[in-house]
Amino acid sequence: MATTKTTKKATKPTTSLVSPADIEQMKSQQHDLVVKAEQFNLTKPTEETEAYAVLGQLKSRITLVEKRRKDITQPLNTSLRQINALFKSLSEPLAEADRILRSKIGMFRRKQEAEAAKRQAVLEQKAAEAEAEAAKLAARKRQTAATIEKTEALVERRDELEQKAEAVTAKVGDAHVSKRWTFRIEDESKVPADYLVVDTIKIRQAVRDGERDIPGVRIYQEESVRVY
């Protein structure tokens, strides 16, 4: 069964705005009164009574114009208040939702910044610890180098004493010739790694000064998070 679709027409406002014809009519009706008041010449007591009569007509006309204005504006003002209230009921929940979401975003950003600051503090602490450890290691290596040098001196001294005790000597006149084992570095590049000590302090300083290619050393950038 076919159904008939009816279209509901929008209800037009019952209040009609004043038309240009109405304006012209009101201007025409009050024109003579306005001219009469402007050109009124009060020269004797009897004309004062007529002046009051003109004032009464002006007041009546003003009252009529004001009533006509209110007849038009009051419904409009009522509709405007209703429209404002309607859209306020729509906009207020949106504004509140906007405020809530902005607050959540702010809380999230502050949390992220706090966590980033903690991570940065940990990285800086680790860097400081690594720097201190490197300094200690360098000090130990320097101490080790000094110890090695001292040990070498003691070994040389021992060798001298042993060679005096078990020397292969050959008398040449009044002189005695003895032999002992010692060394002199002729080509450091051929010395086995077991006998070398890496100077990390010198390497670190070279990297800071811009060196980017040291054989046997991987030079890289380490990321760190800074919060401003």
Per the model's pLDDT, the better-predicted residue between 112 and 153 turns out to be 112
d(CA 78, CA 147): 101
The one-letter amino acid at 143: Q
Q: Is the pLDDT of residue 4 over 50?
A: no
pLDDT in tens, 54-101: 899 999 989 998 998 898 889 899 999 999 999 999 999 999 999 999
Per the model's pLDDT, the better-predicted residue between 2 and 54 turns out to be 54
pLDDT the model gives residue 226: 53
Tokens, residue 71: 């007849």
Q: Are strands 175-177 and 170-172 parallel, antiparallel or unpaired?
A: antiparallel
pLDDT the model gives residue 186: 79
Residue 40 in contact with residue 54, Cβ under 8 Å? yes
Q: What is the mean pLDDT of residues 172-198?
A: 69
d(CA 77, CA 15): 12
CA 89 and chain centroid, separation = 34
pTM tops 0.75, yes or no: no
